[in-house]
Structure 1
Amino acid sequence: MQIEPFQIAIPDHDIDDLRQRIRASRWAPATPSPAWQQGADPAWLRELADYWATHFDWRAAERKLNQQPQFLADVDGQRVHFVHRRGNGLSPYPLVVTHGWPGSFFEFHLLLDQLCDPGSFGADPADAFDVVVPSLPGFAFSAAPAQGGTSSFQVADLWVSLMRGLGYERFGAQGGDIGAGVSVALAARHPQAVEGIHLNFLPSSYEPAIGAAQQPLTAAEENFLREKAEWALLEGGYAHMHSTKPQTLAASLNDSPIGLAAWIAEKFRAWSDCDGEIERVFSKDDLLTNISLYWHTQTIGTSMQMYWENRLQPMRFAGAPRVVPPVGFAHFPKELSHPPRSWIERTFDVVQWTDMPGGGHFAAMEKPGLLATEIRRFFRPLRAQKS
């Protein structure tokens, strides 16, 4: 596997072009609905756009991103961008952490410090990790697949090859959103390599074995499925569009920075534990760093391709054997869905379950300390088995 160091260096003319596009935006007329009721609030969006064009310093954000050790690798013919951060400890445990949409590898900039150098945060240095954070295919600086068929299952195959190329034959996995799906696929397809997975989200397409031969649905499971369907009806329009007509949407979002910002920022507000005040949790600089990664790499369309592929190859385990590697689950109160433990245990061996005191879908950004504590606790017994 060929690996080379990588540093982000967006050309000046791309930054200038972005600012010109923002200033030349044609704004949609506002409706009489209350702020945020029908999507991104126009007043807040104008404020964000003005900041993006006049105050946001991409070069400062770029320097911050480049503080992480980044690399490009040819993995089974696929160009993969990844962060590879070594842990400060006697025997760091190897861990691959996978992001989702509308996030990026930037989601984990605070979590990496906690995982790789726990001693600096008052935790046991023996709990240090070697962390690999790949960018999903078609996200940021990872190339989009040349052909269709790259669902979470195929990404899991790529991650195993990547980790082996880095010298890790056995390792753990962690993820939320699409990253949770990749982690589940890693456990299901590669139990000989993956010792355990920690999740803070359950893939929406996950279906355990149910039917006459299995235990009937519990009241909690029935309620979960009902709430999940109601959420999809009222909030899931973005995912339906991604998974059915991504190129139609990409034509607009790849051309309009305001459209892109609205599409992404609205999700950060709706899916986080911010009580409607998005900047209580995410600064404008952090929001725009993530949004700018999509803009400068022109990957909003290719990122949506994962939804198309995962619709064609969902996480269905009917008739499949139980997944062997153990699972830890951190249940954040403002997450998109709230599966009961029994629903996951129909397929997995859940050895750690924690109802978290706060946080939402972007746990690594919202509550990095809490999430890191849970990850350390889950992998501690597996770490002991390796020594």
Structure 2
Amino acid sequence: MNDIQPFSIAVEDADLDDLRDRLARTRWSDESPADGRERGIRAAELRELADAWRSDYDWRAHEERLNRIPQFVTEIDGQRVHFLHARCDREDAPALLLTHGFPSSNVEFARLVDLLTDPSNGPAFHVVAPSLPGYGFSTPLSGAGWSMGRIADAWIELMRRLGYRRYGVHGGDIGAGVSGMVASRDPEHVVGIHVVTDPMTAASAATFIPGMADSLDASDPIDQLILERMAAFRNDASGYLAIQNTRPQTIGYGLTDSPTFLLAWIVEKLQEWTDVDLDPELILTLVSVAWFGRAGASAAHTLYDQAHSSEWGGPVTVPQSFTVFGADETVRRVMRSPEDARWVEFGNGQHFPAMELPEVLAEDVQAFFGPLR
């Protein structure tokens, strides 16, 4: 089935009423006995966001804004895939495939799509931004086995259906892994790969991706810092991953039934993995899409699938670019790259640069892919 159908977000009024009712009936826990966020998002912070979500946040306005971006759905390998597909005015512009990570969706790229499709803003592209299977409106999940390799094959098929013979790929977090696999599996069509990361993401990835930490030497100060960050991730910050990698169905009941739980689950990571304050309206839009898409449980299942997969990518032969946000000297030690790879470092921003610093990211993407046209 090669059918591609136009899609518009149209949440039922009854679903909006249900969301507000559930938020109003939240049974709140006591505040954490700790002063900071080391035990999770603080109750006062979460209450403020939940109250805004219930009373002040205008979903219809954001729904309308999102629907200004052309959206479509198709079925690939039995899975419903929702994607943004915004074409620029220049017919001969190159195509660019954007892939997000956890705990996000293609909503993350809304501002970036505007910037990258506008010829007055620099080199412009036809942008394709799918939500990963089980995320956003790429739901429900069709079944087990949606590891990064299978997603990469689906993305290659999506670009074929759209008629793009040459395209670039960009991603961070899971999206970086998927993009790398797309580039390694489809080098005759991929012109280059642009990856974003940050020091903590690189260190945490080194804890579970085979081979990344093999050459680290504890006697070297930089390597020691990486090892300390890896230990900190394992000991204090990996609980979300451990439970989703092992019992996604169990955690999924809460993520699907309680909007307050879903809000806490996502916002904790937005707080922990950014150093630029995000607009609360953007945060609530991101969480709303996960709520209305019933994506809490299904996103957890795809993390389980990757944790139980032996696929971590193959050799990439196309031009590569790595952009580090919140950069320090550690990332190059764990992210091995060819000598001719492009490296760019920015002092701020972290895990979500498309939401934290969209203008900076857009310029960097244009700088890399512009000469590859």
TM-score by length of 2: 0.90
> What is the deviation of 1:92?
1.2
Distance 1:333 1:73 in 2: 37
Distance 2:213 2:60 in 1: 52
Deviations 1:217-268 (A, max 9, x none): 4644564344223223211111111111111111112111111111111111
**Residue matched to 1:311:** 307
**Residue matched to 2:335:** 344
Question: For 1:320-335, what aligned pairs fall within 5 Å after superposition?
Answer: 322-333=315-326
Query: What code does the residue aligned with 2:74 have?
Result: A
**Residue matched to 1:229:** 231
Question: For 1:1-387, what aligned pairs fall within 5 Å after superposition?
Answer: 1-89=2-90, 91-119=92-120, 121=121, 123=122, 127-201=123-197, 204=205, 205-208=208-211, 217=216, 219=220, 220-221=222-223, 223-274=225-276, 281-314=277-310, 316=312, 322-333=315-326, 339-345=330-336, 348=338, 351-383=341-373
Quick check: 1:272–1:362 contact (8 Å CA) kept in 2? Answer: yes
Distance 1:51 1:141 in 2: 23
Distance 2:61 2:210 in 1: 44
CA change 1:62–1:374 in 2 (3 A) is same
**Residue matched to 1:278:** none
> What is the deviation of 1:72?
0.8
Distance 1:302 1:326 in 2: 33
Which range moves more in the overlay, 217-226 or 189-198? 217-226
For residue 154 of structure 1, give the secondary structure of its aligned residue in structure 2: helix
Distance 2:265 2:141 in 1: 23
Quick check: 1:208–1:343 contact (8 Å CA) kept in 2? Answer: no
Answer 1 or 2: higher relative contact order, Cα 8 Å, separation at least 6.
2
Structure 1 runs not aligned, ≥5 long? 275-280
Distance 2:246 2:370 in 1: 41
> What is the deviation of 1:306?
1.7
**Residue matched to 1:277:** none
Distance 1:94 1:132 in 2: 7
Identical pairs, percent: 39
Deviations 1:300-335 (A, max 9, x none): 000111211111125546xx6x4212210110017x
Distance 1:345 1:180 in 2: 14
> What is the deviation of 1:73?
1.2
> What is the deviation of 1:339?
4.9
Distance 2:47 2:213 in 1: 48
Quick check: 1:344–1:350 contact (8 Å CA) kept in 2? Answer: no
Distance 1:13 1:310 in 2: 35
Distance 2:236 2:98 in 1: 30
CA change 1:92–1:221 in 2 (3 A) is farther
- Report the count of equivalent residues: 362
Distance 1:246 1:208 in 2: 26
CA change 1:88–1:22 in 2 (3 A) is same
